[in-house]
Amino acid sequence: MNILVTGANGFIGSTFSRLALSHGHQIAGLIRPSNPLPAISSSSETVRWLKGTLAEPPWKEIEKFKPQACLHLAWIATPGVYLESPENESYFHWSREFIGRVRELDAGQIVVAGTCLEYRLSNEKMSEDRTTVEPRTTYARWKNALRVALEEDAKKSSFRLCWSRVFYLYGAGEHPAKLCTSITQKLARGEKIVLKTPNNTKDYIYVDDLASAFLTVLEKQFDGIINFGNGIGTTVKEIAQTIGRMMNREELIEIAVPPQVDPLGDIVADASKLHGLGWKPEYDLRRGLEKIVATAPASSTR
């Protein structure tokens, strides 16, 4: 399958591209002109790196590739910035126009990364069919607006649209401000960590498992909304204490008194649709955290 990938040199995009290539697919990856090419070993016949942006795509090269499917990942995702960034509106407009043009090239399958934050916040598992959609952040509102627009487009031109609501991503190589890597690096430096919201419960999915979920829906030609999570809730305390035991630095972890309550509440997926497609995660929490801890400077662990 010829798969066009936006955000191809990002954390998810590069992981997905490696996996898809190993399964015999052809990849054309859209990457910013200022960014280096992803470190992916493959022949020029199976992978093409296309320099451009959503606002200014290299359409001639994309047309030559003849995409049969498009995986749209490109969006603002900087921790501490993306949730309320005004850039979210720009990404909505760029994405709508980009996907519309890709559809004109007869790509029959469009897969887009949405977010679990599109759902109304509750402490029950979030279901594609039962949980109310009520986005509360700028990021989630514009993601949801794109879903609504693309669903209308799909009704008119009959293409398969898979809208994947991604839950809490983690993995080796993630942004250093992300929870798991931030804890690991602080413990490696010998810094004390005070857990302000120790009971904060989220559904964490390892980046390799997320990549395999995207590949599953592409290969199965899934049409509709689907959750990308494990269906298992994990607390901040569990993550911190597991990392602390791995690094023999549990004494550096403290619980705030009194602990604060996370305003987002528990966010855990009903992952039955994804599992129903035959997808199974390869990483449980311990194995995923081991990969992150392995990236800590050896001289800092004991």
- 87: confidence class by pLDDT, cuts 50, 70, 90: very high
Q: How confident is the model at residue 265 (pLDDT cuts 50, 70, 90)?
A: confident
Q: Architecture of 171-202+232-269+283-300 per CATH?
A: Alpha-Beta Complex (3.90)
Cβ atoms within 10 Å of 204's Cβ, excluding its own: 24
* pLDDT-derived band at 296, boundaries 50, 70, 90: confident
Question: pLDDT (tens digit, 9 = 90+) per residue, 189-231?
Answer: 999 999 999 999 999 999 999 999 999 999 999 999 999 999 9
What pLDDT, on the 0 to 100 scale, is given for residue 46? Answer: 86
Average pLDDT for 82-104:
97
pLDDT(34) > 90: no
In contact, 133 and 119? CB cutoff 8 Å: yes
For residue 84 the two structure tokens come to 């309320």
What are the phi and psi torsion angles at 109 (to 5°)? -125, 125
pLDDT score of 42: 60
Q: How far apart are CA 265 and CA 188, in angstroms?
A: 29
- List CB contacts of 178: < 8 A, sequence separation 6 or more: 79, 170
Cβ neighbour number for residue 181 with a 10 Å cutoff: 21
Amino acid at residue number 151: E
Q: Which residues contact 254 (CB under 8 A, 6 or more apart)?
A: 192, 193, 194, 195
Question: How far apart (Å, rounded) are the C-alpha atoms in residues 120 and 31?
Answer: 33
pLDDT, one tens digit per residue, over 107-141 is 999 999 999 999 998 889 999 999 999 999 999 99
Does domain 2-169+204-228 fall into CATH 3.40.50.720?
yes
Structural domain spans, the chain: 2-169+204-228, 171-202+232-269+283-300
pTM of the model: 0.94
Res 302: pLDDT: 47
C-alpha 221/C-alpha 74 separation (Å) is 21
CB 38 within 8 A of CB 31: yes
Taking 80 as the threshold, does the pLDDT of residue 38 lie above it?
Answer: no
Residue 174, helix vs strand vs coil: coil
- For the stretch 255-260, contacts whose Cβ atoms lie closer than 8 Å and that sit 24 or more positions apart, written own/partner, are 255/194, 255/195, 255/198, 256/194, 256/195, 256/196, 256/198, 259/195, 259/196, 259/197, 259/198, 259/199, 260/196, 260/197
Q: Are 227 and 163 a contacting pair, CB within 8 Å?
A: no
3-state class (DSSP) for residue 41: coil
Three-class secondary structure of residue 227 per DSSP? strand
pLDDT at 301: 46
How large a percentage of the chain has pLDDT more than 70? 97
Per-residue model confidence (pLDDT) at position 43:
58
φ, ψ of residue 78 in degrees (nearest 5) = -70, 120
Q: What is the mean pLDDT of the chain?
A: 94
d(CA 31, CA 28): 10
Q: Which residues lie below 8 Å from residue 31, measured CB to CB, with a gap of 6+?
A: 8, 9, 37, 38, 49, 50, 51, 52
Q: Compute φ and ψ for 98, nearest 5 degrees.
A: -60, -50
| pLDDT > 60? residue 299 | no
